[in-house]
Amino acid sequence: MPQGIVLLDLKGFGKLSAHGQDAVFQEFIPRVRKLVRDGQIPRDANTCGDSILAVFEHTGAAAKFALDVRHLVRRADWQAGELSKLGVRIALHVGDVQFGKDELRALAKDDSHAYGSAIVVPARLEPRVPENQIWLTAEAATHVETLIAEGQFGADVRLSGPTTLPKSAGTRTVFWLLEKGEQPPDLAQEVIGDVGREASALSQETLHRVGSLRALNEYVEKFHVWAQGDHSDHTLKLVLKQFAEAMLFALRLPAAGQTVPLVNAGILERKRGGHLQPTYMIDNEYHHSVPSMQIRTHDNKPVCPDAHAGVAPYCLYRHFRGEYGVAIAHDVHTSPHIVYHRRTRKGGEQGVGSYVDEKVDNVYRYKHDRDGRDQLPPYRSLINCAIPRVSEAWSDPEADYHVEWVGTLDITSREPDAFTHQDCAWAEAATSLIGSLYQSHHDARKKALAKRSPPAGSGKNRHLKKRRSSSL
């Protein structure tokens, strides 16, 4: 049975005087003990320095404990005045743990102790939690939301976004645990810095999109710097996958007033023969719903796709023709038609950066079952945009550039009409950043392969030439 695992750390403990640190154990810990109610006693609870680990059988008890501790730290009056300087970082996870005998603890008291890989998750997450916030993993958020929906627990859960864990522990999507009616931390301040009061005019949806682009940009910068080192082709491929999936997680946005991600995202790479292959996906259900698709060419020129060839091939076809833009399907459960939002190049009545809408019939391609019948995908609407990798550019920033189209970014939602023309610039910015990731990988791979190739005129090459000449 999954357990609720709470790990909290006192921020500012190291700056307390000896008297203040003593007060943590003489005053703070006893008051934390009083927060635990009958029927909510943890299976395991322990302190280590300024950290507390508590494992509960019920997720609701774990979430209530986390909120109560935060409330205590933020609002309590302390006899030892130094305790008012403390903050708290709390991570909550839900997972399977084991209980077994701890030989060291058996020397002093009850020898039962919780352990297992699930304990490691909040330990890695907690250092990332800002002061006086509670972060939930996706597993914990699912359990807590169920309790809220069933009326068993009064609180709010809001999506925060992806975060990269330390010590190569990967990336996780995290959620805020809030008191009922409490607003999440100031997204405007966290997402776009010291913008001031002007940020309050931005909607939550806009802030989430700005935040996702900021996250994508950070991932690209990190990968670019890392890729400058000496890495094998195999290592480059593995790390590219990690960063690409982290970027896809960053694009998962919540619907207005909801905590469940509004969208999923995936990358379809263009392979040999123009076949489009789902390469990086974060949703297996979506992955299995992708039909076979291909962008056809004749004399190295793209051929206009047939009806029902697919949104991705159609979008790539338009980009090959220099008609850059974004394809949106509003509800594939009811119609295979799309709207192609073609970007205006320069000037014009619409202005730079705007789009001209074109309705295109019978584009979406359904996957078929064994009887040849159309299968409806798990999503209803999608937005698709081609991923560019710049292959040649010039010193003039306004000059055209040559690109190779890596594939497409597919962003889907279970809701109909989830995307509008206002999402086009966001989608194009996301694909541009993903294209920069591919460019860094391409350059690093060229460098790695060049180091492996023997120099011209080397002994190895001379030996090969000698063998070839003798065989002739």
83, 95 Cβ separation under 8 angstroms: no
pLDDT given at position 418: 87
pLDDT given at position 196: 38
pLDDT given at position 464: 46
| Residue 106 confidence (pLDDT) above 60 | yes
192 confidence band (pLDDT: 50, 70, 90): very low
Indicate the average pLDDT of the chain: 82
Q: By CB neighbour count within 10 A (0-12 exposed, 13-18 middle, 19+ buried), where does 155 fall?
A: buried
3-state secondary structure of 423: helix
What is the three-state SS of 108-126? CCCCEEEECHHHHHHHHHH
Q: State the average pLDDT over residues 427-452.
A: 91
Cα dist from 240 to 16, 219, 292, 314, whole Å: 43, 10, 24, 26
40, 34 Cβ separation under 8 angstroms: no
Q: State the average pLDDT over residues 340-354.
A: 66
Element at 281 (helix H, strand E): strand 275-281
pLDDT given at position 20: 85
Cα dist from 395 to 97, 368, 401, 435, whole Å: 58, 49, 10, 20
231, 242 Cβ separation under 8 angstroms: no
Q: Out of 117-121, 155-159, 256-260, which region has the weakest mean confidence (pLDDT)?
A: 256-260
| Residue 432 confidence (pLDDT) above 90 | yes
Taken in order of first residue, the domains within the chain and their CATH numbers are 3-186 (3.30.70.1230), 210-452 (3.30.450.40)
pLDDT given at position 444: 92
458 confidence band (pLDDT: 50, 70, 90): low
383 confidence band (pLDDT: 50, 70, 90): very high
Q: Out of 84-93, 277-286, 376-385, which region has the weakest mean confidence (pLDDT)?
A: 277-286
pLDDT given at position 49: 67
Distance of CA 6 to the CA centre of its chain: 23
Cα dist from 226 to 170, 199, 220, 223, 314, whole Å: 16, 33, 10, 5, 35
What is the three-state SS of 51-70? EEEEEECCHHHHHHHHHHHH
Q: State the average pLDDT over residues 159-182.
A: 80
Q: Out of 62-71, 191-200, 218-227, which region has the weakest mean confidence (pLDDT)?
A: 191-200
Q: Out of 249-258, 317-326, 416-425, which region has the weakest mean confidence (pLDDT)?
A: 249-258
pLDDT given at position 109: 52
pLDDT tens, position by position, 11-63: 887 778 888 888 888 899 889 988 887 667 888 888 876 788 999 988 999 99
pLDDT cut 90: percent of the chain above it: 33
| Residue 401 confidence (pLDDT) above 50 | yes
Cα(223)–Cα(229) distance, integer angstroms: 10
| Residue 282 confidence (pLDDT) above 50 | yes
pLDDT given at position 182: 84
Count of residues in the chain: 472
In the numeric block, the tokens 């008297």 are attached to 19
Tell me the H-state helices in 117-181. Answer: 117-125, 138-149
Q: State the average pLDDT over residues 217-239.
A: 89
pLDDT given at position 204: 66
Q: State the average pLDDT over residues 260-289.
A: 82
191 confidence band (pLDDT: 50, 70, 90): very low
Cα dist from 311 to 275, 293, 328, 455, whole Å: 13, 9, 8, 45
Cα(382)–Cα(413) distance, integer angstroms: 6
| Residue 336 confidence (pLDDT) above 90 | yes
The CB density around residue 434, as the number of other CB atoms within 10 Å, is 28
130 confidence band (pLDDT: 50, 70, 90): confident
